[in-house]
Amino acid sequence: MADPTEETIAAIATALSPNEGGIAVVRISGPDAEKISKEILSIPGKQIWASHHIVYGYVTDQDGKDHIDEVLVLILKSPRSFTGEDVIEIHCHGGLVNVERVLQRVLSQPGVRRALPGEFSKRAVLNGRIDLTRAEAISQLIAARSQRAAQLAMTGLDGGIQAQINPLREHLLNQLSEIEARIDFEEDLPALNEIEILSQLNEVKAGLSKLIDEANKGQVLHKGLQVALIGLPNVGKSSLLNRLSGQERAIVTSHPGTTRDLLESAIILQGVPITLLDTAGIRTTTNAIEKEGINRSHQALGSADVVVLIFDLSIGWSEEDAALLSKIPIDVPKLIVGNKSDLKASPKRFPKGTQSSRILPDIRISALNGEGEKEFIDALLRACGASDLNGIVLALNDRQKDLAAQAIGSLEKIQQTAENRLPLDFWTIDLREAIRSLGEITGQEVTEELLDRIFSRFCIGK
Q: Which residues contact 109 (CB under 8 A, 6 or more apart)?
A: 32, 36, 39, 40
Judged by beta carbon, residue 259 or residue 428, the one nearer ligand GTP is 259
Nearest-angstrom CA–CA distance, 19 and 4: 35
CB of 250 to Mg ion, least distance (A): 6
Judged by beta carbon, residue 316 or residue 409, the one nearer ligand GTP is 316
CB of 340 to ligand GTP, least distance (A): 4
Binding residue for Mg ion (CB under 5 A) from 258, 275, 285, 415?
258
Q: Is 239 in the site for Mg ion (CB under 5 A)?
A: no
Binding residue for Mg ion (CB under 5 A) from 121, 139, 238, 406?
238
CA distances in angstroms from 302 to 226, 228, 291, 325, 419, listed in the order given: 11, 10, 17, 13, 44
Given Mg ion, ligand GTP, none, residue 387, with its beta carbon under 5 to 8 Å by kind, binds none
SS3 content of the chain, % helix, strand, coil (to 5): 45, 20, 40
Q: Is 422 in the site for ligand GTP (CB under 6 A)?
A: no
CB of 265 to Mg ion, least distance (A): 12
Phi and psi at residue 436, in whole multiples of 5°?
-65, -40
CB of 289 to ligand GTP, least distance (A): 12
Phi and psi at residue 372, in whole multiples of 5°?
75, 5
CB of 363 to ligand GTP, least distance (A): 13
Judged by beta carbon, residue 179 or residue 263, the one nearer ligand GTP is 263
Task: List binders of ligand GTP among 346-385 (CB under 6 A).
Answer: 366-368
Given Mg ion, ligand GTP, none, residue 342, with its beta carbon under 5 to 8 Å by kind, binds ligand GTP
CA distances in angstroms from 103 to 37, 114, 331, 375, listed in the order given: 11, 9, 51, 52
The identity of residue 457, as a single letter, is: R
Count of residues that bind Mg ion according to CB under 5 A: 3
Q: Is 198 in the site for ligand GTP (CB under 6 A)?
A: no
Binding residue for Mg ion (CB under 5 A) from 162, 259, 265, 397?
259
Q: Which residues pair with 60 in a beta bridge?
A: 67
Give the helix/strand (H/E) hosting 141: helix 132-143
Give the helix/strand (H/E) hosting 124: helix 119-126
Task: List binders of ligand GTP among 203-262 (CB under 6 A).
Answer: 231, 233-239, 252-254, 256-259
Q: 10 Å Cβ neighbour count for 20?
A: 11
Binding residue for ligand GTP (CB under 6 A) from 180, 320, 342, 373?
342
Q: Terminus-to-terminus CA distance in the chain, angstroms?
A: 24
Given Mg ion, ligand GTP, none, residue 236, with its beta carbon under 5 to 8 Å by kind, binds ligand GTP
Q: Which residues pair with 309 in a beta bridge?
A: 230, 336
CB of 446 to ligand GTP, least distance (A): 51
Give the helix/strand (H/E) hosting 23: strand 23-29
Using CB under 5 A, which of the segments 76-84, 96-104, 234-242, 371-379 binds Mg ion? 234-242
Using CB under 5 A, which of the segments 80-88, 136-144, 258-266, 384-392 binds Mg ion? 258-266
Judged by beta carbon, residue 367 or residue 431, the one nearer ligand GTP is 367
Binding residue for ligand GTP (CB under 6 A) from 21, 281, 372, 439?
281
In this structure, is the dihedral angle defined by the CA atoms of residues 367, 317, 275 and 263, taken in order, positive or negative?
A: negative
Nearest-angstrom CA–CA distance, 158 and 179: 34
Nearest-angstrom CA–CA distance, 164 and 393: 12
CB of 258 to Mg ion, least distance (A): 5
* Residue closest to ligand GTP (Cβ): 281
Task: List binders of ligand GTP among 2-61 (CB under 6 A).
Answer: none
Q: Is 265 in the site for ligand GTP (CB under 6 A)?
A: no
Q: Is 146 in the site for ligand GTP (CB under 6 A)?
A: no
Q: Which residues pair with 264 in a beta bridge?
A: 277
| SS3 assignment, position 275 | strand
Count of residues that bind ligand GTP according to CB under 6 A: 24
Over the window 292 to 331, marking each residue x when it contacts ligand GTP by CB under 6 A and - when it does not, the resulting string is ----------------------------------------
CB of 272 to ligand GTP, least distance (A): 23
CB of 111 to Mg ion, least distance (A): 60
- Check if the beta carbon of residue 425 is closer than 8 Å to that of residue 169: no
> Which residue blocks in 224-372 are alpha helix, DSSP H?
237-245, 288-303, 319-327
Nearest-angstrom CA–CA distance, 400 and 439: 10
Q: 10 Å Cβ neighbour count for 214?
A: 20
Binding residue for ligand GTP (CB under 6 A) from 37, 339, 406, 428?
339
Residues that bind ligand GTP (CB under 6 A): 231, 233-239, 252-254, 256-259, 280-281, 339-340, 342-343, 366-368
Residues that bind Mg ion (CB under 5 A): 238, 258-259
